[in-house]
Structure 1
Amino acid sequence: MRHQLIIVFFFIGLSTLNAQIESKQDTLYVQNKESKGLITPLIAYVEKTAFQYLESSNDKTSAIKGFDFSIMGGPYYSNETKVGMGLIASGLYRLSGCSEDMAPSSVSLFSNITTVGAYSFGVKGTTFFPEMRYWINANVSFSDTPLRYWGVGYNAGSKEDYSTYNNMQKNIEVDFFKKIGKYSALGITSNAMEVTGLNFSDTNILGGESRKSTGVGVGLMLSYDSRDFIPNPYKGMYAMMSNTYYSGLLGSTHNFNRTDLIFRYYKQLRKGSILAFDLDSTLNTGSIDWGTMALVGNPNQMRGYYQGRYRDKKLIDSQVELRQHVYKRSGVVVWAGAGNVFSKFSTFHLCQTLPTYGTGYRFELKERVNFRLDYGRGKGESAFYININEAF
């Protein structure tokens, strides 16, 4: 068994941060109006350390011979959460009977903690069975994070008034898939979650709703995936439809149905130039509380918005991104998109559409695996994102 310990100091050399930073497993999200720093030392260090890690973790033979274990960690900082440390311990393996050319199964333990008490931990993994006829995805997590809450709906998010609170969330997801075609699969999904809002600075903003809710649901998933390389596709298409019903008979505090739809398309315009398209929607019907609604803004969709500032029963968003290789390991991207939150289709208004646009830098850690730095702008706000792999 081989051990590695890599500490990636993303923010050494950054001089000014008037920001909020959230650590989301392998993502650093910076909500900011402006940020200054030294990017060159960061890239040099990432190239030296993270590149070595990715090279070894992609070694297929080591995964076949046993359990290939490695550890990654790194500090982060924000004005609200102060200094924090994140840690990911991951392992690659193959079940008996799985061939060498199959993708390895994986499991990851993750955790982070800050000096003001925000923390999260959990485990996630994917297990592939021989010939990839079946596979299982599992994710178990717990988090306690200081956040802001504006209320439900477009009008609430457009206001400046918000309440601070602590979002405590427990989540268990298990999905079982069966391959039904060359690119398609049918799956059964299950989810149990508990969301609790603590220490609201203004409880009136909840409008009488309970600060705690539980959702337990089961459903079906159908997917089609012809992408040539999932972390950074040059061509192909990905489509997914998931429908999950949360019932009081299973332990939910509310009865509601959630439908998620995803469509992504990739086309290589010429060597080094990729056009990527993304369309996502989350459609909830029935009785749903403030803590389990569809949220605008994350490191992958609607970049530039504080996650959850705009929330409602339904969300539709889309983006187009041009990815251009520039020189050696460097590349740039530009994107533009839009999204809309609404309670029902009869209340959908084009004038309430939220824009998103931005640009980013890419540094190739290894072939088709990129370190990314994005700056996104939304309606009256903006954000920086630091991550590995493309947004979608």
Structure 2
Amino acid sequence: MKRVLGCLMGFLWIAGPVMAQEHVPKIARNAIGRFIYQTLNDTSSAASSRVLIFPTAGYAPETSLELGVRAFSLYYANDDTLVNRLSELVLYGFVTLRGQFGAQLENAVYSDQNTYYLLGRARYQQFPLLYYGIGPQTRPGNPALVSSSYVQIRQRALRKVTQNWYAGPEIDFQRLQNVTFERTDPDAVVLPLGGRGSTTLELGGTLVYDDRKNVLNVRKGAFFEAAALRNLVNTSTYTFQRLLFDGRFYRPLGKASRVLALQATGMFISGNVPFNSLALLGGENTMRGYYMGRYRDKNLLAAQAELRWLPFAFSRRWGGTLFGGLGTVAPSVSQFRVNQIRWAVGGGARFLFFQKKDVYLRADLGITREGTGLYFSLGEAF
């Protein structure tokens, strides 16, 4: 059961008219048409703030039809494009025909002179997830359907300590309530730790190197994050600590429109950790094509590479990508095995949405040995 979730309606609804012609089309003669055309042909300066709101749609067997709205806010502090970096706020809300709903706010916000950097997300959802079990060799068939109320708040409050280096505290709060496991085969899935609900609060520190100018479309630069966190509540049941790293490198190849992007990530957890806080392999950003959490365990290693044409040489606003990734999970570092590494490959289309801010709308198809995944969003996967 592959989830198709994201900006499909917005991508087709807004990009469609431009494929036909560059001049003002007949669709722009009414109010809705003018809004679509003006949004698509945004010629506002890079310094100006811009908010974009458009509908989304998706379908999955566990949710039926899903309808939602995404709102993006892109801006530079003090409208200074020479020194300050592009800040991003994304708000997303959805409902399904089965009465499920959720909301998520993501932020990557820089203050003036890039002195402070707030990076994180907050989300609430009453939404089912597929649970295949824990470990690198879980079976693809007959996953449990887990329904719950879930809250997560993860935030890093960072301050510049020297050129491009930031440091500060990190907090990760998670609460899972009203949990039910629906299993096709009751003997196939053992109820994991935290399977009846859990509350954790991790606190720690984060060190970040970041010289990217535009986090939604990096053409040159690097990003590195290392963090250490420890759970501070319900320690009688959940005593665990987490180490993680995320390294990214971007380099232009020949023409400025062609970019090579590389990423390596790792997560290492020790102690007793609830299943919803384990390291997860898959999703719209890493190992595209695998369901988010298709593989989960205490330890994770993953790497991916992506070649981007932004835009194609023959087009002013259309581009594309090719990508591939490798990843695996394990109960301990010593138990990582080469024959348990999973692969994912794919490609995607890009449309230059904010022309002055150099931000693209993306549609990606990820292919794995277990199936495919289709993803739509604003900005690159990493």
TM-score, length-scaled by structure 1: 0.80
Native 8 Å contact 1:259 1:284 kept in 2: yes
Q: Which residue of 2 aligns with 1:332?
A: 320
1:43 corresponds in structure 2 to: 15
Q: Which moved more, 1:382-391 or 1:347-356?
A: 382-391
> After the TM superposition, which residues 168-247 of structure 1 pair with which residues of structure 2 at under 5 Å, given as runs?
168-196=149-177, 198-202=179-183, 205-207=189-191, 209=193, 210-247=195-232
2:162 is paired with a residue of what secondary structure?
A: coil
2:244 — aligned with what?
260
1:201 aligned partner, one-letter code: E
1:209-263 Cα offsets, whole Å, 9 max, x none, are: 33211110111111111224321112111111111111237x7841111112011
1:85 is aligned to 2:72 = no
Q: Residues 114 and 145 (structure 1 numbering): CA distance in 2 closer, same or farther, change over 3 Å?
A: same
**Residue in structure 1 matched with residue 4 of structure 2 by the alignment:** 21
Deviations 1:118-141 (A, max 9, x none): 211244445544433224345332
What is the Cα deviation at residue 278 of structure 1? 0.8
1:350 and 2:338 correspond: yes
Cα offsets for 1:310-344 (capped at 9, x unmatched): 11001110011111242212222111220010010
Kept after mapping to 2: 8 A contact 1:218/1:245: yes
Offset of residue 164 of structure 1: 1.4
Displacement, 1:369? 1.4
Task: Provide closer, same or farther for how the CA distance between residues 79 and 201 of structure 1 changes in structure 2, counting only shifts above 3 A.
Answer: closer
For 2:92, give the aligned amino acid.
Answer: F
Is the 1:145–1:167 contact (alpha carbons within 8 Å) kept by the matching residues of 2? yes
Q: Secondary structure at the match of 2:181?
A: coil
| Rounded Cα–Cα distance in structure 1 between residues aligned with 2:377 and 2:46 | 22
CA shift digits 1:326-373 (9 cap, x unpaired)? 221222211122001001012111000001111111222233311211
Deviates more, 1:346-355 or 1:319-328: 319-328
Deviation, 1:57, is: 8.6
Change (3 A) 1:200 1:237: same
Kindly indicate whether the alpha-carbon contact (under 8 Å) linking 2:245 and 2:266 is maintained by their aligned counterparts in 1.
Answer: yes
Answer whether contact 1:57 1:92 (CA < 8 A) is retained.
Answer: no
Query: Residues 148-185 of structure 1: CA distance to partner in whole angstroms, max 9, x if unpaired?
Result: 111100122x3423211214311122321110122111
User: Cα–Cα, structure 1 residues 106 and 375, in superposed 2: closer, same or farther, change >3 Å?
Assistant: closer
CA contact (8 A) 2:192 2:275 kept: no
Change (3 A) 1:214 1:274: same
The unaligned stretches of length 5 or more in structure 1 are 1-17, 30-36
Following the alignment from structure 2 to structure 1, what is the Cα–Cα distance between the partners of residues 211 and 247? 12
Q: Check conservation: 2:93, 2:102, Cα contact below 8 A.
A: yes
2:366 to 361, 373, 376: 376
Q: Give the corresponding residue for 2:289.
A: 304
Q: Using a 3 Å threshold, how does the CA distance of structure 1 residues 51 and 161 change in structure 2: closer, same or farther?
A: farther
Distance 1:168 1:80 in 2: 15
Q: CA RMSD in A?
A: 3.1
For structure 2, the residue ranges without an aligned partner over 5 or more in a row are: 20-34
Shift of 1:283: 1.3
**Quick one: distance in 2 between partners of 1:70 and 1:42?**
12
> Are positions 1:60 and 2:60 aligned together?
no
1:62-121 Cα deviation digits (max 9, x unpaired): x5xxxx7664333334444233321244557888xx563435766554321111122112
Contact 1:214 1:253 in 2 (8 A): no
Query: In structure 1, what is the Cα distance between the partners aligned to 2:38 and 2:238?
Result: 46
1:131 is paired with a residue whose SS is helix
- Residue 223 to residue 84, structure 1, CA distance change in 2 (3 Å): same
Q: Does 1:385 align with 2:375?
A: yes
Measure, in 2, the Cα distance between the counterparts of 1:138 and 1:337: 24
Per-residue deviation, residues 293-325 of structure 1 (Å, max 9, x unmatched): 111111111011111121100111001111124
Contact 1:86-1:110 at 8 Å conserved across structures? yes
Structure-2 change in CA distance of 1:345 and 1:139 (3 Å): closer
Distance 2:41 2:239 in 1: 43
Equivalent in the alignment of 1:100: 80
Q: Which amino acid is the alignment partner of residue 100 of structure 1?
A: D
Label 1:163 to 1:365 Cα distance change in 2 as closer, same or farther (>3 A).
same
Tell me, yes or no, if the aligned pair for 1:71 and 1:90 is still in contact at 8 Å. yes
**C-alpha offsets along residues 248-283 of structure 1, whole Å, 9 cap, x if unaligned?**
37x784111111201111111111221111101111
In the alignment, is residue 113 of structure 1 matched against residue 95 of structure 2?
yes
Retained in 1: the 8 A contact 2:63–2:100?
yes
Assess if the C-alpha contact under 8 Å between 1:20 and 1:80 holds in 2.
no
Residue 265 of structure 1: SS of its match in structure 2? strand
Q: Secondary structure at the match of 2:127?
A: strand
Distance 1:322 1:287 in 2: 39
Q: Percent identity?
A: 24
1:49 partner SS: helix
